[in-house]
């Protein structure tokens, strides 16, 4: 099965799937004892190229995990050479000790990678408010160092899983006008996703050569169209971290405002959109993924309406049940746009018009019932006016979300 | 068991529980065929006192149900004499036809009550986007008229239920300095509750005599401390309607800024707070009710933080599981207060301090585990500064919410 499985993501013609990391990168994932289950929980990614450039995006939460604070305060985010990530513990709301633990992990990562500490990013995911077993992570790094390999992205993807039902990674070969480069990414995320990009960790590597500014521009533009448009439960995380590292070892230079930059951006865009959809499909207990498209005359109204629909537990449970209950779309729109009644809105699900000008219209129930039972369901909402349009992707809300989150335990 | 069952509501000393409606009111509930199940679905409330005063509050949604639009546009909300309510159909997102249907029901209510149409409020609750079977409601009103009685509040409460697991009503005798009055209320609500007051219908009757201005002031102040502080699922409804009717037949005058007004307000406050807590306890599939109290230096921060905690599906599932996972409180605070990191916040659950200055503190896990498994769980959050404090009540999120809402069907 192709990595690009969603109908909402098109594989660009100049992209093909391969295996392993881009030139210059090695990775490994190991079981270090952070998780009581004994599952893999520590990952190490290293770039062997001294001229590696990088870019980063983090959660906007007011409660930042120690590794996020450390990255923001003590890393050269434009020149990262290594990443240490652990699952099983978020090292969030852990105070002064948490920062010390994160620094300890960063130092051990620097030793393992043979680079300066400020070139090592750290990322954690797991339970909040429990001290990080830093010594276990440090021990894991020594083991991971010995296992570093060019196809270590698979084990790295395993080691960053928490409630993820499956690992999420891909490697692509991208044909640019200037030559062929590689692009790979490993992501994790299942719950606590949105409105920014989640208890999501995503590490992206390429052997294209580019300035840190270009890396930052590409990462920002593609995050905005992928992870930032995805909602599992509307809950912003303390730990979201997305990093892009470019080793340059392909020898192909990606200069600003060139066809190379455009083509690489298209590949990165498809890669991150598909990963975001995989995170949603893995949304704790998810059965289906929805896409809501809202158009109208006012950008803020369109955005508020799309978020309200995507975040609504009523819409999400209806999606879970395969129930075309568009009344809940109406409810969400009203909540997003107070004081606008009577609002003449339109609703279509899977191309079937259900509501026009704010009132119900007749439709073929059995036809629609079949359509909303598929893996992907599309909702289109029309608000008055034109010129503005947006989309948000979301998972359904089912029993497994309750089971997972009622029993996650602190 | 006392109606005032929550530890968060104190029964005022001048209030005692009785049965039946205040003087001048009669009510009835009947099965009229709106619900396919054959359960009661149409209610009629009538005041026989020509001088009845009233006040109303409605949802702030931008998608208003037809009965809400009708009440706002074609009722004398300060001089209502009757209320017609139906369950099984919200008459929302039903366009022009919905307004015509609501007007037809209002007309039939006026005939049944023997008053002018503009003195009849209409309210609906149930599925959105399906035309109201107005003829069934009209037929039900003819039957309800024959059954009107002074103890009809019980059957009225039954007839306004949708997914409610139990009926919610109370009748109180209230001793005021000027004499004894009666106060009663019938409410429904289980899902789609918050941030204002829900697919909540609540009808309140008193035989105290007061101006419409006093009724409005009392209703506004007490709604703000009850229904507006309650969240089942953070979803604002299209149909919320709260009405207060005062017949005056006790002969006890409640004048502005008197001890009578203060005492009646205390009784109404306790009544509506307990009803709000009953709505939460009935929150679709709810097992427990939480109360989050947030204090700090900034009213807006305090409010945003309390709402974020109360609306978080992660906090709600932890409450369901009896899991003292305070990391999710931390996550919700960070989401509510972006850009404030590092935020030195405190968290205590049931009086047990878990987090101080943003960092975890040791606590007795088995002691706390017992405390969070009770029917009511209290969370106290401290933000920097002082002078501002608020509370929000919320239900947990469990499997039955999923079952109910995945299979509600349109």
Rounded Cα distance, B45 and B201, in Å: 13
Average pLDDT, chain B: 92
The tens digit of pLDDT for each residue in B363-389 reads 998 899 899 999 999 999 999 999 999
- Residue B35 has what pLDDT? 93
Q: Give me the residue from A59, A96, A341 closest to B62, CB to CB.
A: A341
Whether the predicted pLDDT of B154 surpasses 70: yes
Distance between B52 CA and the closest CA of chain A, angstroms: 29
- Residue A190 has what pLDDT? 62
Find how far residue A180's CA is from the centre of its chain. 26
Distance between B242 CA and the closest CA of chain A, angstroms: 18
> What three-state secondary structure class fits B153?
helix
Are domains B15-281 and B289-406 of this chain identical in fold?
no
Higher-pLDDT residue of A185 and B164 is A185
Average pLDDT, chain A: 92
Whether the predicted pLDDT of B190 surpasses 80: no
Where residue B335 falls among pLDDT bands split at 50, 70, 90? confident
Q: How many CB atoms lie within 10 A of CB A405?
A: 26
Higher-pLDDT residue of A196 and B130 is B130
What ipTM, to 2 d.p.? 0.80
Q: If you measure CA to CA, which chain B residue comes closest to A194?
A: B335
- Residue B280 has what pLDDT? 87
Tell me the β-bridge partners of B332.
none
Give how far Cα B372 sits from Cα of A73, B314, B368, B394, B401, Å: 38, 15, 6, 14, 20
Rounded Cα distance, B43 and A33, in Å: 62
Tell me what percent of the residues of chain B surpass a pLDDT of 90: 74
Tell me the β-bridge partners of A87.
A125
- Residue A66 has what pLDDT? 95
Chain A contacts of B129, Cβ < 8 Å? 325-327, 330, 354-355, 360
- Residue B284 has what pLDDT? 67
* Contacts with A, B 201-260, CB within 8 Å: 233-238
- Residue B402 has what pLDDT? 76
Q: Does B300 touch chain A (CB under 8 A)?
A: no
Structurally, at CATH architecture level, domain B289-406 sits in Roll (3.10)
Whether the predicted pLDDT of B349 surpasses 90: yes
Segment (H or E) for A357 = none
- Residue B323 has what pLDDT? 83
Residue bearing tokens 């052997």: A207
Segment (H or E) for B273 = helix B259-281
Of residues B321, B382, B313, B333, the one with CA closest to residue B353: B382
Sorted by where each begins, the domain ranges of chain B are 15-281, 289-406
- Residue B27 has what pLDDT? 98
- List the end-to-end C-alpha distance of chain A, in Å, as a whole number: 37
Chain B contacts of A94, Cβ < 8 Å? 359-360
Where residue A307 falls among pLDDT bands split at 50, 70, 90? very high
Q: Which CATH number, 3.60.70.12, 3.40.50.970, 3.40.50.620, 3.40.190.10, labels domain A15-281? A: 3.60.70.12
Q: Does A296 touch chain B (CB under 8 A)?
A: no
Which one of B162, B296, B331 would you mutate to disrupt binding with A, by most A Cβ within 10 Å of its Cβ? B331
- Residue A191 has what pLDDT? 53
Chain B contacts of A98, Cβ < 8 Å? 359
Chain A contacts of B235, Cβ < 8 Å? 312-314, 331-332, 335
Whether the predicted pLDDT of A240 surpasses 50: yes
Q: Give me the residue from B64, B96, B337 closest to A62, CB to CB.
A: B337
Q: What is the mean pLDDT of residues B205-220?
A: 98
Whether the predicted pLDDT of A136 surpasses 60: yes
Phi, psi (rounded to 5 degrees) for B173: -105, 130
Of residues A318, A187, A223, A88, the one with CA closest to residue B127: A318
Where residue A401 falls among pLDDT bands split at 50, 70, 90? confident
Higher-pLDDT residue of B115 and A408 is B115
Where residue A321 falls among pLDDT bands split at 50, 70, 90? confident
The tens digit of pLDDT for each residue in A334-377 reads 989 988 888 999 999 999 999 999 998 999 988 998 999 999 99
Rounded Cα distance, B320 and B288, in Å: 7
The tens digit of pLDDT for each residue in A176-199 reads 999 999 999 999 986 554 333 346
The tens digit of pLDDT for each residue in B259-292 reads 999 999 999 999 999 999 998 888 667 789 999 9
Rounded Cα distance, A81 and A54, in Å: 8
- Residue A400 has what pLDDT? 77
Whether the predicted pLDDT of B397 surpasses 80: yes
- Residue A193 has what pLDDT? 45
- Residue B410 has what pLDDT? 42
Distance between B150 CA and the closest CA of chain A, angstroms: 36
Tell me the β-bridge partners of A92.
none
């Amino acid at each position: 099965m192709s990595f690009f499985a969603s109908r909402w993501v098109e594989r660009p013609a100049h992209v093909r799937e391969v295996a392993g990391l881009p030139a210059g990168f090695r990775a490994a994932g190991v079981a270090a004892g952070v998780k009581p289950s004994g599952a893999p929980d520590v990952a190490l990614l290293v770039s062997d190229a001294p001229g590696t450039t990088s870019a980063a995006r983090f959660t906007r939460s007011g409660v930042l995990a120690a590794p996020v604070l450390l990255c923001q305060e003590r890393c050269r985010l434009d020149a990262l050479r290594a990443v240490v990530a652990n699952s099983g513990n978020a090292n969030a709301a852990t105070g002064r000790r948490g920062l010390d633990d994160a620094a300890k992990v960063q130092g051990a990562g620097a030793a393992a990678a043979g680079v300066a500490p400020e070139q090592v990013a750290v990322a954690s995911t797991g339970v909040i408010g429990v001290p990080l077993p830093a010594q276990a992570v440090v021990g894991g790094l020594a083991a991971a160092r010995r296992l570093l390999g060019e196809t270590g992205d698979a084990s790295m993807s395993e080691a960053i899983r928490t409630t993820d039902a499956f690992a999420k990674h891909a490697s692509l070969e991208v044909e640019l006008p200037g030559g062929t480069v590689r692009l790979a990414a490993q992501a994790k995320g299942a719950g606590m996703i949105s409105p920014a990009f989640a208890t999501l960790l995503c590490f992206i590597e390429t052997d294209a050569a580019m300035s840190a500014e270009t890396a930052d521009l590409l990462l920002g533009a593609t995050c905005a169209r992928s992870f930032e448009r995805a909602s599992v439960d509307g809950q912003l995380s303390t730990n979201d971290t997305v990093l892009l590292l470019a080793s340059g070892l392909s020898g192909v230079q990606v200069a600003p405002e060139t066809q190379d930059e455009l083509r690489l951006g298209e590949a990165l865009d498809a890669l991150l959109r598909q990963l975001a959809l995989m995170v949603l499909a893995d949304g704790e207990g998810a059965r289906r993924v929805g896409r809501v498209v809202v158009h109208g005359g006012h950008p803020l109204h369109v955005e508020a309406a799309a978020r309200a629909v995507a975040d609504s537990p009523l819409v999400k449970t209806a999606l879970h049940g395969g129930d075309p209950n568009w009344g809940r779309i109406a409810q969400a729109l009203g909540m997003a746009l107070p004081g606008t009644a009577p609002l003449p809105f339109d609703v279509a699900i899977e191309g079937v018009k259900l509501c026009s000008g704010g009132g119900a219209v007749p439709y073929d129930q059995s036809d629609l019932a079949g359509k909303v039972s598929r893996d992907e369901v599309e909702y289109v909402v029309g608000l008055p006016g034109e010129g503005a349009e947006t989309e948000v992707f979301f998972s359904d809300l089912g029993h497994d979300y309750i089971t997972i989150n009622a029993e996650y335990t602190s």
